[in-house]
């Protein structure tokens, strides 16, 4: 039995090795030819300095009895990036520091990106290291750049691109240390997954502004089941994103389905769908409307053999969809009450998001945005109505020069009794949030030779 398992693991390693090394070997031959034909080097040093001040009134206070929870704070994020590029080779390193003004200690300092990429004239490429992933509208895989820490992944990516077709394959494997004892277990690490394989394909029509993508994701999560802590559970996601964008209007749609098992070993059967339309009657105006629905559970998820209290139903299938590594701030309300913060005890009743907005650009460097959201849960639950509340978002942004962007925003949400009960905070009926964001992106050095 042990020999069989070892053979399966060896076969899996060999398949991954072939998938990675075959395109890389083809790439290396083409790269050698290019390096002999042309030697053009480009070296740059850039920075990004982002400062955001926020005022929050209502939401998620530490003490449920404390209703006067108005909060003011200032966040900062500093990035220093180094790029080197020649005909066939690219490399990039970004150091990142994020903190709150006045915070004790030194805040969070990390290496946000560190990768190297080889590219051939035939369209093949290989990219290895810590890198940002951004696919389609970033609903499932995105940078989540609004968050100070943002998202990056340690992986190798190989692929092929031309004017019509793009294929990317990604492979990641995470561990806590290089220890040989228990080295195959991954707990409390920087990433939620132990291993991940993604396959993304995109097609652009040569004569029509139509694009379509297919995404397959497989994640291995370390078990939290007390009966089998050494086991790795696998969950899959498969779906599509389609867009049609003629001159003054556009239509977008997506559908994704999740299956497999979660880290507790419970079966998953969840889905989400979205549609969005945009119309621009002129270069100054843009109208937006759309609808998102993410499936949910009518009951709490109880781990096998466990319980969370009286009156809870233990169900065998997780139906609450997880948008995994997307840029959630873009989609489910600027106040981030959904999928960036959880409901009470991790309850997942799903979400419906009906939204409409308008954008006005009186001059090229100035833009105003207004968006309305109507939120509701997606499942029928006992003693809870579906509506969660309504949110209004107002944003003004101005870029006096290309290196500087200043944004000012205000959001208001009027929650329902369902919102109050699911968040377990009594002031979820009346929520305010205002912010001022300043981003400066200077280029310190650029050298070509």
pLDDT tens for residues 329-347?
A: 999 999 888 887 667 666 7
Name the residue with tokens 């949110």: 391
C-alpha torsion sign, points 48, 117, 111, 221: positive
Q: Is 197 helix (H, G, I), strand (E, B) or coil?
A: strand
Domain 2-177+190-448: which topology? Porin (2.40.160)
168 or 30: which leads in pLDDT: 168
For residues 54 and 433, is the Cβ–Cβ distance under 8 A? yes
Domain ranges of the chain: 2-177+190-448
What does the pLDDT read at residue 1? 43
What does the pLDDT read at residue 63? 47
311 or 212: which leads in pLDDT: 212
Residues 6+ apart with CB under 8 A from 120: 26, 27, 30, 31, 34, 88
What does the pLDDT read at residue 24? 55
- pLDDT bucket at 195, cuts 50 / 70 / 90: very high
Query: For 339, left (φ over 0), alpha (ψ -120 to 50), or beta?
Result: left
Average pLDDT taken over every residue of the chain = 87
pLDDT above 70: percentage of residues in the chain: 82
What does the pLDDT read at residue 307? 45
DSSP H or E segment with residue 249 = strand 249-261
- pLDDT bucket at 428, cuts 50 / 70 / 90: low
**pTM of the predicted model as reported, rounded to 2 decimal places:** 0.87
Highest mean pLDDT among 4-8, 16-20, 222-226, 284-288: 284-288
CA distances (Å), 14 to each of 27, 118, 178, 410, in order? 20, 22, 21, 53
50 has a pLDDT exceeding 70: yes
Neighbours of 314 (CB within 10 A): 15
418 or 237: which leads in pLDDT: 237
* Mean pLDDT, rounded, for 88-99: 96
Quote the DSSP letter at residue 402: T
């Amino acid at each position: 039995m042990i020999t069989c398992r070892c053979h399966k693991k060896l076969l899996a390693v060999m398949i991954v090795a072939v998938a990675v090394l075959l395109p890389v070997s083809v790439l290396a031959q083409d790269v050698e030819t290019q390096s002999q034909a042309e030697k053009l080097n480009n070296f740059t040093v850039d920075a990004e300095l982002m400062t955001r001040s926020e005022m929050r009134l209502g939401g998620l206070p530490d003490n449920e009895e404390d209703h006067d929870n108005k909060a003011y704070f200032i966040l900062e994020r500093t990035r220093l990036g180094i790029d080197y590029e020649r005909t066939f080779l690219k490399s990039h390193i970004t150091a990142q520091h994020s903190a709150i003004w006045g915070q004790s200690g030194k805040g969070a300092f990390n290496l946000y990106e560190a990768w190297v990429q080889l590219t051939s004239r035939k369209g093949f490429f290989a990219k290895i290291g810590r890198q940002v992933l951004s696919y389609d509208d970033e609903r499932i895989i995105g940078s989540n750049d609004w968050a100070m820490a943002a998202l990056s992944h340690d992986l190798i990516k190989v692929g092929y691109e031309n004017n019509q077709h793009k294929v990317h394959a990604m492979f990641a494997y995470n561990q806590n240390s290089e220890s040989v004892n228990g080295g195959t277990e991954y707990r409390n690490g920087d990433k939620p997954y132990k291993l991940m394989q993604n396959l993304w394909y995109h097609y652009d029509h040569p004569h029509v502004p139509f694009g379509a993508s297919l995404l397959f994701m497989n994640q291995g999560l370390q078990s939290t089941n007390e009966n089998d802590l050494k086991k790795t559970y696998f969950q899959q996601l498969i779906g599509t994103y389609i867009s049609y964008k003629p001159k003054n209007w556009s239509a977008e749609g997506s559908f994704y389905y999740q299956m497999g098992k979660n880290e507790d070993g419970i079966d998953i059967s969840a889905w989400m769908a979205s549609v969005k339309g945009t119309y621009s009657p002129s270069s100054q105006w843009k109208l937006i409307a759309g609808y998102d629905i993410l499936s949910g559970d009518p009951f709490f998820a109880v781990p096998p053999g466990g319980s969370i209290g009286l009156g809870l139903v233990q169900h065998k299938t997780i139906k609450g969809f997880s948008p995994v590594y997307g840029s959630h701030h873009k989609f489910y309300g600027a106040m981030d009450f959904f999928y960036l913060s959880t409901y009470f005890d991790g309850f997942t009743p799903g979400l419906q998001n009906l939204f409409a907005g308008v954008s006005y650009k009186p001059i090229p460097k100035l833009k105003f945005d207004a968006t309305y959201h109507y939120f509701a849960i997606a499942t029928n639950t006992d003693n809870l109505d579906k509506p969660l509340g309504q949110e209004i978002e107002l944003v003004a942004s101005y870029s006096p020069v290309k290196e500087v962007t200043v944004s000012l925003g205000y959001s208001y949400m009027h929650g329902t009794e369902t919102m109050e009960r699911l968040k377990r905070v009594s002031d979820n009926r009346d929520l305010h949030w205002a912010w001022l964001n300043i981003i400066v992106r200077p280029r310190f050095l650029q050298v070509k030779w």
